[in-house]
Structure 1
Amino acid sequence: MISHPVTADLFNGLAELEDTGRGWLPHRLPRAARARCDDPQLLSAQAQPSGVRLAVRSAATVIELDLLRTRVVLTGVPPRADGVVDLLIDGRRVGHAAVYGGDLVRIDPRTGASETEFGDVATLRFDGLPPQDKTLELWLPHYERTELVGVRTDAPIVPVPTGRPTWVHHGSSISQGSNADSPSTTWPALVAAARNLDLVNLGFSGSAMLDPFVARVIRDRPADLISVKIGINLVNADLMRRRAFGPAVHGFLDTIRDGHPTTPLIVIGPLHCPIHEFTPGPGSFDVEALAAGAVRFVALGDPDDAVGPNVGLRRLTLRGIREQLAEIVHERQVDDPDLSYVDGLGLYGPGDEAAHPLPDNLHPDATTHRLIAERFGAVLGALSRRR
């Protein structure tokens, strides 16, 4: 077996690699952006390599990855399934393997106290691969921090630049892939495969907050298509009021346009989420559900606070955000014909709830990821025909 140096050119979909002393950690935000925020939620999410994949050309029949994951478990909350690595050969998913071992971080959500148990490196082996020259893509787990410790094959490898149009997408945990089956079957990954796009996934669980440094990252990345999904995290974090929201959206889009003045830019409104349609945040775990061993979320805000007489001080709901986003995009389209708005209810709406309920009241399941992907892919097809 040939052992290969772990270098950034082996990867697609990342910003940079960090040598942690134990392995190589892919970051989806560059160091300059990470320095602008000390929020543990964001820093954790961006180090979970959703959309990051090792991509090489090789005649290898065996490939091995040594991985060191960091698994976070909340006290009293049922843990997620183990993270998975997907293997694609020439764009077709042919295998997957669950990650094991690694470090375990236990957090008490009531107090914030945490403790860490350090674990061992996992070795994932994919063998019996066809011996001809081919493109191998190994998609890293989309919701576990994953350090790559080693890469081995039984034949030489060369990095593979995608050569495809680059799609930069920013959003929340749904965009990162929460509840998807695997990293190559999140809804953005499915759309990218169907539309032959090179995905850069900037979906950050709990952290799509219109942060200026994220807008600058998008501004500075090469992109042939950009989309930003705005709304749910601002509501369930109860982060801002109506007065702050509109200017924040404008500022976010202005910054992106500084680097991409004519790149197709799609603003996506929130998907249907019953708990937050008319009820502001904050959102929280449903304590009764946790006691029964299930994970569900509830909205703790007062619906009256979203319709008060002082319009600027109204708290945000998903319905209110959709109305403002539609107005903002309509106003900007006068000077920006390459800007589009997609109502999230067209991707997952009230009519889908019976057949595709949100298992935890907040995130779609794996089947619904596919539904969203199919519908957004159709949107991209319609937009491309209009250009």
Structure 2
Amino acid sequence: MTEPTATHGTHRAWAVEVTDFAAGPVLLRGALDLERTESGWLPRRLPRWTRAQYPEPGVEDMVVQPSGVRLAFSTAADAIELDVLTTQAVWPGDPVPTRADGFDLVIDSVVRRAGASEVTGALELRDGTGAIAERRPGRVGTVRFDDLGDQPKEIELWLPHHTRVELVALRARAPIRPAAAAGRSQLRWVHHGSSISHCHAALRPTETWPALAARRAGVEVVNLGFGGQAQLDPFTARAIRQLPADLISLKLGINIVNADSFRLRAFIPAVHGFLDTVREGHPKAPLLVVSPIICPPVEDRPGPTIADPGRAQPWFVSSSDPSQTALGRLSLGVIRGTLARIVAERSSQDPNLHYLDGRLLFGPGDVADLPDNLHPNAAGYRRMGERFADLVFGPQGAFGGHPTRQDSAA
């Protein structure tokens, strides 16, 4: 932490500047690691040791997109600035962005403002397969928030949920102190899921459904939702095992069907193994298994799901034969029945293990908000967050009735 003697883009000097995000006083919530890069500090949503085990580059892409990651600190500053280098993926048909948006400021637990960097960082132009066709370098941009008042306040600055962000510097017009202990005493909810938990289509980082549910329930969320990568990977289970966690949820199944990556013979022991690993670190924490939300093309037939080549806009379909579920291929119906049975069998010895049918969060009556036949839109995600808060954190829910920490094992 340094105290600059010159002004930075304003007629008034900044009181403090933080450039070492690993040393504090800024707390990084929602990230499991922080990597030093040439430009700054890169939040990662899985520990770096997991990288050697990634089966494809897509895992790394999702791990460094900071869904749920935010900077937390206390200050009386009336203005703050954050310098960042962003890297945005641009898919065929998407407009090339002119700036990096999606930075949300939360003051004393209330979402107050959305911000954007005044310049675009680096760009990765993708082809139809998702591979990088062209890289365009970018430069550091600044996100600024003014007129915050000079009263002491608790700040959370949420990073974009869909954009790689390297942290370069944080400046404020008053001293920055560590976040209040009250915030850290909240129950910590660790959630793992697919793109439907990563929530690319949410309008703001504070409007992903896990963020919405956490705010309504008054808990601190760690969102391990990785687009395409909820594949029962052992390294993810081990990362969760090592985390401090009071409440844990696992939303499983849709990526496995989408990729046609398991057969029933392998799926059943893989689920047991994932649960066993999580339980090694968190033997008594409430643990909720959530099955997939509605996805019409694979409700009764196996994957893989593919984008319909006859449509200009993404629309996911499957051409697999429904009768092949009898041979061990997986539809969502098979997945739900299998997960419900596994949880029922294990819960006789594990009373804190619970099951939730994902269609209660987003079901047949919600398909109008499923614009690509697979992923909810922003309205759908908001509804999922509200329903999860009511169903799971409510008095009769899996996470209801847990006012104190149940399990804080590292």
Normalising by structure 2, what TM-score?
0.88
* Cα gap change, 1:83 to 1:252, in 2 (>3 Å): farther
- Corresponding residue number in structure 2 for 1:91: 109
The answer to whether the aligner puts 1:114 opposite 2:133 as a matched pair is yes
- Corresponding residue number in structure 2 for 1:126: 145
Distance 1:59 1:284 in 2: 51
Residue correspondence of structure 1 range 302-313 to structure 2 within 5 A: 302-306=321-325, 308=326, 310=327
- Corresponding residue number in structure 1 for 2:268: 246
* Cα gap change, 1:111 to 1:205, in 2 (>3 Å): closer
Q: 2:171 aligns with which of 147, 152, 167?
A: 152
- Corresponding residue number in structure 1 for 2:374: 362
Return the offset for 1:299: 2.1
Q: Is the 8 A contact 1:164 1:196 kept in 2?
A: yes
State the AA in 1 paired with 2:260.
D
Mark the runs of 5 or more structure 2 residues left unpaired by the alignment. Answer: 1-13, 403-410
Q: 1:140 aligns with which of 153, 159, 179?
A: 159
- Corresponding residue number in structure 1 for 2:9: none
Q: Is the 8 A contact 2:124 2:132 kept in 1?
A: no
Question: C-alpha deviations, 1:134-171, integer Å up to 9, x for none?
Answer: 01111000011111111111111112152211000000
- Corresponding residue number in structure 1 for 2:85: 68
* Cα gap change, 1:110 to 1:226, in 2 (>3 Å): closer
Question: C-alpha deviations, 1:67-89, integer Å up to 9, x for none?
Answer: 11111123356679954000010
Q: Is the 8 A contact 1:59 1:156 kept in 2?
A: yes
Distance 2:264 2:343 in 1: 16
Return the offset for 1:260: 0.5
The answer to whether the aligner puts 1:45 opposite 2:57 as a matched pair is no
Q: Is the 8 A contact 1:246 1:324 kept in 2?
A: yes
State the AA in 2 paired with 1:47.
V
- Secondary structure (helix, strand or coil) at the match of 2:271 reads helix
Q: Aligned-pair RMSD on alpha carbons?
A: 1.8
Q: Is the 8 A contact 1:77 1:295 kept in 2?
A: no
* Cα gap change, 1:79 to 1:364, in 2 (>3 Å): farther
- Corresponding residue number in structure 2 for 1:24: 41
Residue correspondence of structure 1 range 165-184 to structure 2 within 5 A: 165-184=187-206
- Corresponding residue number in structure 1 for 2:222: 200
Q: Is the 8 A contact 1:83 1:143 kept in 2?
A: no
Distance 2:316 2:100 in 1: 22
- Corresponding residue number in structure 2 for 1:336: 350
Mark the runs of 5 or more structure 1 residues left unpaired by the alignment. Answer: none
* Cα gap change, 1:79 to 1:346, in 2 (>3 Å): farther
- Corresponding residue number in structure 1 for 2:212: 190
Return the offset for 1:178: 2.2
Deviates most, 144-153 or 72-81: 72-81
Q: Is the 8 A contact 1:6 1:148 kept in 2?
A: no
State the AA in 1 paired with 2:382.
R
Return the offset for 1:275: 1.5
Q: Is the 8 A contact 2:19 2:168 kept in 1?
A: no
Q: Is the 8 A contact 1:78 1:295 kept in 2?
A: no
Normalising by structure 1, what TM-score?
0.93
Distance 1:189 1:331 in 2: 31
* Cα gap change, 1:326 to 1:282, in 2 (>3 Å): same
Distance 1:149 1:38 in 2: 30
Q: Is the 8 A contact 2:126 2:132 kept in 1?
A: yes
Percent identity reads 48
Distance 2:125 2:335 in 1: 35
Q: Is the 8 A contact 2:100 2:120 kept in 1?
A: no
Residue correspondence of structure 1 range 5-20 to structure 2 within 5 A: 5-8=19-22, 9=24, 10=26, 11-20=28-37
* Cα gap change, 1:79 to 1:172, in 2 (>3 Å): farther
Distance 1:6 1:93 in 2: 26
- Corresponding residue number in structure 2 for 1:375: 387
